[in-house]
Structure 1
């Protein structure tokens, strides 16, 4: 496991869909906000292809945005942005790189959390194409785009100066890449509240609490925290 500095002052979380951060990282986020860290969410789509009930398709984007804001509040996050890409159609193109670069330069985070761009063959459900595309675009935005004044020069005209992100945290990475576990036992209830806020995605699950607790317990056991609950990441020094 990696040895890390104290919690960063500012963190930017970049995900593909509403609820991604809550399934993967909400316990960790809750621990950071409890320590006074400023966290911003950037959600690339509004989850318009999600849902398990008869909610009209045209109502789904607004519903899922509202759910994500409520979930964010449950873990102490109030700054939530949506980029408006179509759910299921995200690609790591220059436009997405530019939009994420813009967020990085605006927030000026000391740490970015996003999806792994790699396929996790042991847990394929984690490797949604939108997740991998967002992970790939975020990595390109961190290096080289956000720190390079000649990349996306129109951002300079908007007053967004280059920024170097020191740390990248990736969730959903293949197990062999994981190098950091966060003990989220004390923040389990906050994580559960965040997930429950996504009613369009979780209300049909009969035992959400048990499912999440078992998953976090197994993760903790695998990564040296027996008897605890953990979320895990592939952490990279990007300075």
Structure 2
């Protein structure tokens, strides 16, 4: 990945004395993850901030997550996250680690993009050791080709970003840990999803950005819009 300047968009909006003025640039947000819990890990804090700013949020989950547990349980956990976020949840239920052919995935994602008309899309980084994450990134990259803003998030299987687009999630860090705690079947087995680990990662990004807690994203495409603040 090519390095880019590191800055904190949401914190800038706050500093201008207009609440989340900058966040209102995005009214419809779509997050695409390969498995239940991927989205919350990668961009849960940012989604909480989008929702608080009045944006409509859609979570598109590609696989049933069956390799990590009972798919019925995991679907229920993802539905609970949707309730906590006030978000629409779309579960495609594709076989875990066998998502399908690229053209089929692209078509499925295009259908949701057409339905939700997002002005901002979040999805996986391409540099990831899980094949489903890589395949999801590749499909979104094509399906979202006409979306002006596409940000890529970390996973436990990807490198940790040192530069990129930063979002101050200090005000919602507790809520982010609660989103991940909703995936109880996973937190009990995966230490990286525990509140302590989530806070530790966010603390590291926050240190780089000059705030308590943050998330970092790599911009596939990003449009910096300037709004008049009255």
TM-score (norm 1): 0.77
- Identify which range, 103-112 or 209-218, moves more after superposition: 209-218
The answer to whether residue 198 in structure 2 is matched with residue 212 in structure 1 is yes
Once the two structures are superposed, the pairs formed by residues 24-39 of structure 1 within 5 Å of their partners are 24-39=42-57
Cα deviation digits, residues 115-173 of structure 1 (max 9, x gap): 01234xxxxxxx31101110110001112xxxxxxxxxxxxxxxxxxxx3110010026
**Counterpart for residue 142 of structure 2:** 140
**Counterpart for residue 46 of structure 1:** 64
**Counterpart for residue 228 of structure 2:** none
Q: Secondary structure at the match of 1:165?
A: coil
**Counterpart for residue 197 of structure 1:** 182
Q: Secondary structure at the match of 1:18?
A: coil
- Identify which range, 170-179 or 127-136, moves more after superposition: 170-179
The answer to whether residue 130 in structure 2 is matched with residue 128 in structure 1 is yes
Compare CA radii of gyration and give the structure with the larger one: 1
The answer to whether residue 147 in structure 2 is matched with residue 165 in structure 1 is yes
The answer to whether residue 40 in structure 2 is matched with residue 61 in structure 1 is no
**Counterpart for residue 180 of structure 1:** 165
Q: CA deviation at 1:62?
A: 1.4
Q: CA deviation at 1:210?
A: 1.8
Native 8 Å contact 2:23 2:50 kept in 1: no
**Counterpart for residue 23 of structure 2:** 6
For structure 2, the 5+ residue unaligned runs are: 1-5, 10-21, 224-230
Distance 2:131 2:107 in 1: 19
The 3 A distance-change label for structure 1 pair 205 and 140 is closer
Once the two structures are superposed, the pairs formed by residues 87-106 of structure 1 within 5 Å of their partners are 87-90=96-99, 93-106=102-115
For structure 1, the 5+ residue unaligned runs are: 52-59, 120-126, 144-163
Number of aligned residue pairs: 201
Native 8 Å contact 1:116 1:136 kept in 2: no
Q: CA deviation at 1:84?
A: 1.9
TM-score (norm 2): 0.80
Distance 2:38 2:196 in 1: 19
